[in-house]
Chain A
């Protein structure tokens, strides 16, 4: 082991969590422990924590996330029992000691046949068209705010997006960073009632407000010890039942649990800037975005 590897071994283990049904609150509390670091993206992680039984519909997505973790990497599975922190730290130590890295799970093939033209694959005719590097370029569409014809970017986000409840897959169309269309492709996984606990909802919002330390303190039952929490949330953001996101944060910080009817995301989110939309989603209890709720 080199000096650098020994130094690296003293760092908290960076973990990206792919959370399945039933284990969201347990994982959220787990990742607040000092020996582990919650990776914001698989690129930051060395370990992929697969918590719970991932349903078949999310298997392809799990493989995609797995392949995005840089080498050397390892997957650790957890069914909610046993000393998972020990298992994660052992896997981490093994990787730093030269342990084998997990190979790709998906085939090494570009997303589409490359039909680009030119030396640099710059596409087709003129500025538009073609599929440089196997992927088409974004095309223009009408804007919902000021009518400028600018590019629309469409992508499916989830089911393991760290800013969304686990399981939720949204097909979003963005113009810039403003959402112009949303379709719910899959609901959030079912979680135990603890996932709706006010401290966990508040912790998710605090994380989006740039306060990971305060979020961990709140999830551990403490005070946030940070300024400007309520004022940071824009007033009137996604009101449900007469209460906006700021009211919901205030309620959660006061320890009041909330009953919320399943919101119609396809109607509520378009027109919002991405950060506001994610903040609004985090302010809703995950059960309101789960299977039965959206089916009802």
Chain B
């Protein structure tokens, strides 16, 4: 509960400060144009952007899921002893196979 209150407090405080500090700006058309070193764009910059490392993000999700298991594991690690180390070692070894596969397939390149 305290955690929630404190986190909301900071967020609200910062958002309030930003809304006061950052004025509602209005720029003229030539000032608002995107900077391209004097050049001009054909279109808006927002687009269905080609996110090149998208295959990498799938491997990332696998590792993030693994983190969820590691939090409780870290708490009981010392009391469980070498067994816990072996178990996590196996888990990481299996994930590493996926990592090696991804590396061979070149997913960590800017495809």
Chains A and B share a contact (CB less than 8 Å): yes
B110 closest partner in A (C-beta): A273
Chain B residues with Cβ below 8 Å from A151 are 47-50
- In angstroms, how far is the closest chain A Cβ from the Cβ of B58? 15
| B2 sits at the interface (CB 8 A) | no
Q: For the complex, what is the distance from the CA of A280 to the CA of B56, rounded to whole Å?
A: 26
Complex Cα gap A58–B47 (Å): 29
Cβ < 8 Å to A, chain B residues 41-75: 41-52
Q: Is the CB of B41 within 8 A of A160?
A: no
Q: How far is the CA of A62 from the CA of B33 in the complex (A)?
A: 13
| B contact face: mostly helix, strand, loop, or mixed | loop
Least Cβ–Cβ distance between B17 and chain A, in angstroms: 17
Query: Complex formed: what's the CA distance from A138 to B49 in Å?
Result: 10
Whether B39 contacts A61 by the Cβ 8 Å rule is yes
B35 in contact with A43 (CB, 8 Å): yes
Beta-carbon contact of A150 and B36 below 8 Å: no
Does chain B have a CB within 8 A of A183? no
- Contact check, B30 vs A68: say whether CB atoms are below 8 A apart: yes
A109 touches B29 (CB 8 A): yes
A176 to B51, CA, bound (A): 6
Cβ–Cβ contact A108 & B47, under 8 A? no
**CB–CB A136/B38 < 8 A:** no
The residues of B that contact A70 with a CB separation of less than 8 Å are 31
Rounded to whole angstroms, the CA-CA distance of A135 and B41 in the bound complex is 9
B50 touching A143 by the CB < 8 A rule? Answer: yes
Which residues from chain B contact A58 at a C-beta distance below 8 Å? Answer: 38
- Indicate if the CB atoms of A169 and B30 lie closer than 8 Å: no
With A68-B33, A108-B29 in contact, do A150 and B48 touch (Cβ < 8 Å)? yes
- B37 contacts partner chain A, Cβ-Cβ < 8 Å: yes
Rounded to whole angstroms, the CA-CA distance of A153 and B43 in the bound complex is: 7
Q: Report, nearest first, the 5 A-B pairs whose CB atoms are least far apart.
A: A161-B37, A61-B38, A176-B50, A151-B47, A156-B39
Q: Give me the interface of B with A, judged by CB distance under 8 Å.
A: 28-31, 33, 35-52, 110-111
* 30 residue pairs bridging A and B, Cβ less than 8 Å apart: A61-B37, A62-B38, A65-B35, A67-B28, A70-B31, A106-B30, A107-B30, A108-B30, A111-B33, A132-B44, A133-B44, A135-B43, A136-B43, A137-B47, A145-B111, A150-B48, A151-B49, A153-B41, A153-B42, A154-B41, A154-B42, A155-B39, A155-B40, A155-B42, A160-B37, A161-B39, A164-B37, A176-B50, A178-B50, A178-B52
